[in-house]
Structures are given as structure tokens and as C-alpha cells.
């Protein structure tokens, strides 16, 4: 399978985006567990064979959906406009990062909870997560935390994990807006020791 944009025909790239968009809409409406390859093909207006050729399996489709969202998120915080991208104060960027991560995780919560369960403790070592950890560490360092302890990075990222958001929404009854406000208060309370 060709990666996005890499040796990909224009129609294959268009189909890939159609399929990812259809999968996201179906997940938003029905949850990840209820989405089948047939439904994704039908919603995208392509044949089922196209879905299997492009992604190999339902798991491959779900991973591609996560990868696509993660790539967009990384582009936004590495080179997008402020406050998420460069050019804003580090604390402001950290707040923006958390709110963007919260929105992304919520958009894929079912899939991420399933993926985290399947990965077990290794989920903390996933390359995409490591990019986020490096970004948060850099922002904390720019805020005056030096050196940035690994435990601090984990603690700051913990409320943005799929399992934490699932717990906060399903068991604590918080809305996404309430979680976002709590994230902003958390970041606002971070003060480096002198």
C-alpha cells in the first residue's frame, strides 16, 4: 500500500480521503465498534474491494484514520498558526495543544480506547505519542522547567489520554468543555521551582 501522497495516483489519493472521511462520519454517528468495511465503502461511494485494497482490513482502516488525524495534529503544532503553532507564548501554546489534543481524542475516542487496550503498557512508547511528549517537554522547558522530568511530562499529558477522557466523560459526567476548562486551569497552575 502506498502511503499518502507517496507514489499515489490522484484517484487513489482521492479515494483514500473519501474513505477516511466516511469512516470518521460513521464513527461519530455509530461508534467505532459498529462500523464495518461495507458501511464505509457505501458511505464513500466506492466498492468494498477498494476499501480492502487501500487498508487491508478494518484494523488497517482504523489505524490509517488515527494516523491521518495525528499527522494533521503534528503539522498544526509544528508549523501551523499560533497559538497552537509557533509564535505564541509557551504556556498559551500548551493550552492550545491540550485543547486540540482533547478535540482529536474525543473525535476518535472509541478507536483510541480499543487501540490502547490492544497495545497495553506499550502504548506509552508509540512513536506518535513520543512526538507529543517531545513537544510538551519543549514547551515546559520554554516555560522555565529545566530540566523537564519525565514524570512531569507524563503527568501533564495524562488528562489527554483516551482512557482518562473516557473515565471523565462516562464515569465522572464531565462534558468536553468542562475537561477543557480543567486543562486550562491545570496548565495555568504550573509554576517552575526557582
Per-residue pLDDT of the chain (194 residues; tens, 9 = 90+): 334 445 567 777 788 888 888 988 888 788 777 788 999 999 999 888 888 888 888 877 877 888 888 888 999 999 999 999 999 999 999 999 999 999 999 988 888 887 777 667 777 787 888 899 999 999 999 999 988 888 899 899 999 999 999 999 999 999 999 999 999 999 999 988 76
Q: Check: CB of residue 84 under 8 Å from CB of residue 97.
A: yes
CA 105 to chain centroid? 5
Cα angle 185-108-67, degrees, rounded to a multiple of 5: 105
Cα dihedral: 4, 9, 11, 16 (round 10): -20
Domain limits of the chain?
1-56, 65-189
pLDDT at 194: 64
pLDDT at 2: 39
At the topology level, CATH places domain 65-189 in Tetracycline Repressor; domain 2 (1.10.357)
pLDDT at 8: 62
- DSSP string spanning 22-72? HHHHHHHHH-GGG--HHHHHHHHTS-HHHHHHHHSSHHHHHHHHHHHHHHH
Which DSSP symbol is given to 161? S
Q: Check: CB of residue 90 under 8 Å from CB of residue 63.
A: no
pTM (two decimals) = 0.77
- Pick among 3.40.430.10, 1.20.140.10, 1.10.3720.10, 1.10.10.60: CATH of 1-56: 1.10.10.60
Amino acid at each position: 500500500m502506498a502511503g499518502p501522497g507517496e507514489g499515489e495516483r490522484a484517484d487513489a489519493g482521492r479515494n483514500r480521503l473519501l474513505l477516511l472521511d466516511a469512516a470518521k462520519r460513521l464513527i461519530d454517528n455509530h461508534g467505532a465498534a459498529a462500523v464495518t468495511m461495507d458501511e464505509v465503502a457505501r458511505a464513500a461511494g466506492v466498492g468494498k474491494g477498494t476499501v480492502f485494497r487501500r487498508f487491508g482490513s478494518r484494523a488497517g482502516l482504523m489505524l490509517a484514520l488515527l494516523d491521518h488525524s495525528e499527522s494533521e495534529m503534528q503539522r498544526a503544532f509544528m508549523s501551523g498558526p499560533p497559538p497552537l503553532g509557533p509564535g505564541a507564548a509557551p504556556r498559551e501554546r500548551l493550552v492550545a495543544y491540550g485543547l486540540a489534543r482533547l478535540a482529536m481524542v474525543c473525535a476518535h475516542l472509541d478507536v483510541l480506547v480499543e487501540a490502547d487496550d490492544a497495545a497495553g503498557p506499550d502504548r506509552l512508547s508509540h512513536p506518535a505519542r513520543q512526538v507529543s511528549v517531545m513537544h510538551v517537554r519543549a514547551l515546559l522547558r520554554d516555560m522555565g522547567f529545566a530540566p523537564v522530568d519525565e514524570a512531569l511530562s507524563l503527568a501533564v499529558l495524562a488528562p489527554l489520554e483516551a482512557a482518562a477522557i473516557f473515565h471523565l466523560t462516562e464515569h465522572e459526567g464531565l462534558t468536553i468543555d468542562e475537561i477543557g476548562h480543567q486543562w486550562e486551569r491545570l496548565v495555568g497552575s504550573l509554576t517552575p521551582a526557582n
